[in-house]
Structure 1
């Protein structure tokens, strides 16, 4: 009887031990060759929080990484992933980000690949909503935080030490880091001269390395399993069209899909907020995106990319002007953000496609905060100019 009772448990332990002890190289050998191509539009959080797939992508010149947040999931026909596939642009956008993926999370991700960023072109889409007065919070940080990236930062010797210390001090304010006794000990040892803390870090280092190796193996298994394909609105109607023709096409689609409100918001989204709209009028009086801890978090990204020798294009998208006016959000509170973030980027010598003058363009935004049909047309042109080394990235497209 005992054999019958305990044999499943023993079998499970043997299998688990086998999974842990399989050499990483063996797992890598059976990861499908097309996994990177599949992952380009999956927006799979396991990929964001790992490193194997992104390492392969960054080593492949066919891919142009595009970093952002929830707007990346709006895969209409003008979305860069769809537009550049249909027009056979010679490169494939690789999407990295989801809702709540703000500067600090992107910094951790970039730090994972510092040695692969030299001379690498990449696109980074900024959202004004990141720059809240209190900065990113636990609800946005926790679901997007990667333990693997957190531990790798602790052992990363390639990042500028002063930059690393700044990042660690900020990371220690969030629960997944400060409540991890091993990682927080390693981090605290980086920013203190206290000998006792440094001794504790020495004792914790072997445990940290073992745990990190398990996280690396976990990432490989997730890479082997893959994610799921998203629905994409691929359309041949974008082929062989001028930018003006694409903007007109975007106008027509936006007008057809945004008929139940005067904010130029897509019907399906407006239906979700319709009952609340009257109560939201003038509720944002005195608000501003001009002052936020997010600027310091964003500076971490700028410093890392500059030190690594990366070649980024930043896309500064606007808010929906009609909606923000309705809620009473002052124009000054928006302009202060646009001007400050643009100056911050240009101070580091990086390129920025600044679309802040398009707050009131119909269908530039798809809803109250996410980039829409015409917005993607502008973005596509900026990306194409950037990729082809065209000097002008501040795009002007006139549809009327």
Structure 2
């Protein structure tokens, strides 16, 4: 009888034991190969965003991250990944973003990128992140990685105390719960206290150890593969880089792909998302503002993560389709005020490399749909990236940041008087 039971349940018991050993044994599984990194660079796979092993492997190779959100999936010929491949940039973009990712998600993401220290990064800022209520709780919960959360908790005994308190409080306020031990640790950090010795022991030696093993084993398995899309897109570019000719090509392609409407929106997006309900958007955004938002505080947390790791950052302020702005009645003052406020927050702390695409003289075909960069917008961004990507190491002169805890306050989040800031 015992033998029969063993024959039935024995293999299951052995499999479970083997899995537990894999997850908790102090073994460094080297499953992230250079080919996996290349695939991950354009995959936009959520496991790559939430993990650590693939991104840190990329930092050992010729990749510079572009941190953003849904615009990164608009992979036309002028997308940075297409341009980098066609024109043999020394360093290639590593795309980190999904629809719904915003500043706090990316702050946790950057905090887990240990290989980013002393290197470069690019951040695409979207005005639509900065709404009255900020990031939706459901979106943040979905993208919050338990691995990155444990890393933040364990690192909370150093760095800026105000920033650590803010992040812990914000995570709790958004209703995140990853377990009683993690929740208790966040409560202590939010109160300005260090985590207990037992919390550190449990989170470091049990929770995080298992999560790292899972990330090493499964973080690069069956990733999205967009390489064919990049190959197809880059094949449409001329062999020789010439900005004027590329700009003309972008206009020509954009006109061909936006014939169904007068808003310069790509036909596929227009048919799928707008055609049957376009009239409900007429003058629908007359009262929209981007200057009152907790997102400014979340954005400051992201800046702190860069500052404490001496990362040189290029910030790109994403454009909004001007024809869509006019159709929806969005006040131009809303965009201009957002632009002024976010640039003050950046420049006053030493983040001076800003590519502002919200205020260009000729904005035609700068966006592929309503609010996402495409065609000429990508090309304008690429023009600045081309030289920036020649060296992935940060210039120490460009990382002399002077962080200000004022930008973590609700006063700043709601402030519209940019001439009298502290």
- With the length of structure 1 as denominator, give the TM-score of the two structures: 0.89
Equivalent position of 1:382 in the other structure: 384
Q: CA, structure 1 residues 8+111, in 2 after alignment: closer, same or farther (shift >3 Å)?
A: farther
Contact 1:365 1:374 in 2 (8 A): yes
Equivalent position of 2:401 in the other structure: none
Equivalent position of 1:308 in the other structure: 309
Q: Please give the per-residue CA displacement for 1:101-147, whole angstroms capped at 9, x wherever unaligned.
A: 1000110011113x533331111111111111110012321221111
Equivalent position of 1:15 in the other structure: 15
Contact 2:316 2:356 in 1 (8 A): yes
Counterparts of 1:88-99 in structure 2, within 5 Å, are 88-99=88-99
- With the length of structure 2 as denominator, give the TM-score of the two structures: 0.85
Equivalent position of 1:225 in the other structure: 221
**Per-residue deviation, 1:6:** 6.0
Equivalent position of 1:266 in the other structure: 266
Q: Please give the per-residue CA displacement for 1:210-236, whole angstroms capped at 9, x wherever unaligned.
A: 122111111011235241311322225
- More deviation, 13-22/121-130: 13-22
Q: 1-side partners of 2:215 and 2:143: how far apart?
A: 15
Counterparts of 1:385-396 in structure 2, within 5 Å, are 385-388=387-390
**Per-residue deviation, 1:202:** 4.5
Q: Which secondary structure state, in structure 1, belongs to the residue aligned with residue 99 of structure 2?
A: coil
- More deviation, 2-11/358-367: 2-11
Q: 2-side partners of 1:353 and 1:193: how far apart?
A: 36
**Per-residue deviation, 1:159:** 2.9
Q: CA, structure 1 residues 16+387, in 2 after alignment: closer, same or farther (shift >3 Å)?
A: same
Q: 1-side partners of 2:245 and 2:360: how far apart?
A: 18
Q: 2-side partners of 1:371 and 1:357: how far apart?
A: 14
Equivalent position of 2:174 in the other structure: 174
- More deviation, 51-60/380-389: 380-389
Q: Which secondary structure state, in structure 2, belongs to the residue aligned with residue 55 of structure 1?
A: helix
Counterparts of 1:155-194 in structure 2, within 5 Å, are 155-156=154-155, 157-177=157-177, 180-192=179-191
Q: CA, structure 1 residues 360+329, in 2 after alignment: closer, same or farther (shift >3 Å)?
A: farther
Q: Please give the per-residue CA displacement for 1:247-296, whole angstroms capped at 9, x wherever unaligned.
A: 11000000000001111000111112111111221122211011111011
Q: 1-side partners of 2:28 and 2:170: how far apart?
A: 37
Q: Which secondary structure state, in structure 2, belongs to the residue aligned with residue 64 of structure 1?
A: strand
Q: Which secondary structure state, in structure 2, belongs to the residue aligned with residue 227 of structure 1?
A: coil
Contact 1:107 1:300 in 2 (8 A): yes
Q: Which secondary structure state, in structure 2, belongs to the residue aligned with residue 176 of structure 1?
A: coil
Equivalent position of 1:142 in the other structure: 141
Does 2:357 match 1:355? yes
- More deviation, 231-240/39-48: 231-240
Q: Which secondary structure state, in structure 2, belongs to the residue aligned with residue 287 of structure 1?
A: coil
Counterparts of 1:115-154 in structure 2, within 5 Å, are 115-154=114-153
Stretches of structure 2 lacking an aligned partner (at least 5 in a row) = 396-422
**Per-residue deviation, 1:239:** 2.7
Q: 1-side partners of 2:131 and 2:3: how far apart?
A: 60
Contact 2:319 2:372 in 1 (8 A): no
Q: Which secondary structure state, in structure 1, belongs to the residue aligned with residue 187 of structure 2?
A: helix
Q: CA, structure 1 residues 360+281, in 2 after alignment: closer, same or farther (shift >3 Å)?
A: farther
Q: 1-side partners of 2:224 and 2:198: how far apart?
A: 41
Q: CA, structure 1 residues 365+24, in 2 after alignment: closer, same or farther (shift >3 Å)?
A: farther
Counterparts of 1:276-315 in structure 2, within 5 Å, are 276-315=277-316
Q: Please give the per-residue CA displacement for 1:178-198, whole angstroms capped at 9, x wherever unaligned.
A: x6322110011123378xx96
Equivalent position of 2:100 in the other structure: 100
Equivalent position of 2:343 in the other structure: 342
- More deviation, 244-253/300-309: 300-309
Equivalent position of 1:207 in the other structure: 202
Counterparts of 1:325-340 in structure 2, within 5 Å, are 325-340=326-341
Q: 2-side partners of 1:300 and 1:270: how far apart?
A: 36
Does 2:215 match 1:216? no
**Per-residue deviation, 1:360:** 6.5
Counterparts of 1:35-46 in structure 2, within 5 Å, are 35-46=36-47
Contact 1:65 1:93 in 2 (8 A): yes
Q: 2-side partners of 1:8 and 1:142: how far apart?
A: 40
